Structure 1
């Protein structure tokens, strides 16, 4: 877009028109088309979300609906907000103590955390995530001796490569873990932490009931997104771990309801 950048009401009207015409739009595309900063676009989207005009999704916005029931594939989600996820992972890894028992739920942000846990000694890891299990599976050689002890739940795989269902839930409820690290499709003041998959929500609730402490890891783009099923109210979360792109309004809400808000610092590209 050439010329002076549009004023806030004009920008929001343009964003809404783009979403209506194209069905969805990415933040990076709006930055380029409207000639304003990433944070300005995100603030505009927050306003449009509050008015019910659009719905935030990972990295952008779509036309508003009551809830989100579509579950993206693991590979699709892996490419979104990679720098923010790395910041979240570094902050979340600091919660894990050597020799502890940690449960890792599904999702790409949790997968980013799992990469860092390979450096922490004497861990026992319980997971229903197939990618996490493959990542942490002991291999032949000297590194196998220092790899975490791995316990994989049973269950049926979702599109996001998480094992869910009665088999997973039964196995999880027989365990006690020190810390659960769980991702979320979306997080909001009203709905808490949500997922589009009903069975995954039930499995996440089983993980929460087995955990001494609960950490939800979610980059800033997840705030304001609402999935079909809630698995945790904000008051059930001991640690909410996000990145420094989280909007001040979201921080204020979270600080009122969760045990502790931890923000990882995003590294410059």
Structure 2
């Protein structure tokens, strides 16, 4: 896919998620491209399972608590926000530390930035995260990949993964989530929530990385309550209401803007 098509499709997907449905005519006006170009983009998104094509436009796939998008489906969403969040998160990692990283596209983005930090040990239940860190070719970094059952979002989960994590002690854990609201941080996969909890318990500090679109999304299973997060890094498109709720629950709310951030209220 060429970069321009990728950018258009990311905009279309954001509009579908925000509004629930979009019309071809409105996308033509928004994007400044032809009717045919928009229809091709919708076809491409529909083929990847990201939208449902209807007469004259497209609708969202749905927001059921058991819906679990694949890695590619999530990768195109809120790309700029994920980059900003990852840059802030990477500043929290010190050379020689032991770092836990859950599966997810925001954590995968973070993994690219950790390749330059010397002497770290990365523990993850994501083959994609492990591949990214290993691709640096550094001999002073160690990667520990749990075993487990593979989910649609490319997490390794289940009793094998949980057992691998129980004896480990990590300096910081970066957790990506499917959704967050007053009830906590959630995932649509029961086994993934159990594995994520084991990863959280292995760490001295929990840093949740989640862009604004995760607010109000509720997965089937709660990983941990909001109050368990020592730090939540999100982006500046988060609504004032969400900031108020999250700022009163998490240890520290950090809002990423580009490659900078500010700390919110405790």
- TM-score tier, shorter chain, comes to 0.7 to 0.9
Structure 1 segments unaligned to the other structure (5+ residues): 1-23, 38-56
Name the CA shift for 1:249/1:63 in 2 (closer, same or farther; >3 Å).
farther
Shift of 1:206: 0.5
CA distance in 1, matches of 2:83, 2:213: 14
Structure 1 residue 26 and structure 2 residue 17: aligned?
Answer: yes
CA distance in 2, matches of 1:132, 1:215: 17
Within a 5 Å distance, the mapping from 1:145-184 to structure 2 comes to 145-146=139-140, 148-184=141-177
Give runs of ≥4 in structure 1 deviating > 2 Å. Answer: 24-34, 61-65, 143-146
Quote the residue 1:76 is aligned against. 73
Structure 1 residue 231 and structure 2 residue 223: aligned?
Answer: yes
Shift of 1:234: 0.4
Shift of 1:240: 0.5
SS of the aligned residue for 2:139 comes to: helix
SS of the aligned residue for 1:240 comes to: strand
Quote the residue 1:40 is aligned against. none
Higher relative CO (Cα under 8 Å, sequence separation at least 6) belongs to 1
Post-superposition Cα deviations, 1:92-129, rounded to whole Å, max 9, x if no partner, equal 11111111100000000000111111111110000000
Name the CA shift for 1:155/1:144 in 2 (closer, same or farther; >3 Å).
same
TM-score normalized by structure 2?
A: 0.75
CA distance in 1, matches of 2:75, 2:155: 14
Quote the residue 2:112 is aligned against. 115
TM-score normalized by structure 1?
A: 0.74
- Root-mean-square deviation (CA, aligned residues, Å) is 2.8
Shift of 1:30: 5.8
Whether the 8 Å CA contact 1:109–1:183 is kept in 2: the answer is yes
Name the CA shift for 1:109/1:64 in 2 (closer, same or farther; >3 Å).
closer
Whether the 8 Å CA contact 1:244–1:266 is kept in 2: the answer is no
Structure 2 segments unaligned to the other structure (5+ residues): 1-14, 31-49, 52-58, 260-266
Quote the residue 2:45 is aligned against. none
CA distance in 1, matches of 2:100, 2:17: 33
CA distance in 1, matches of 2:65, 2:26: 27
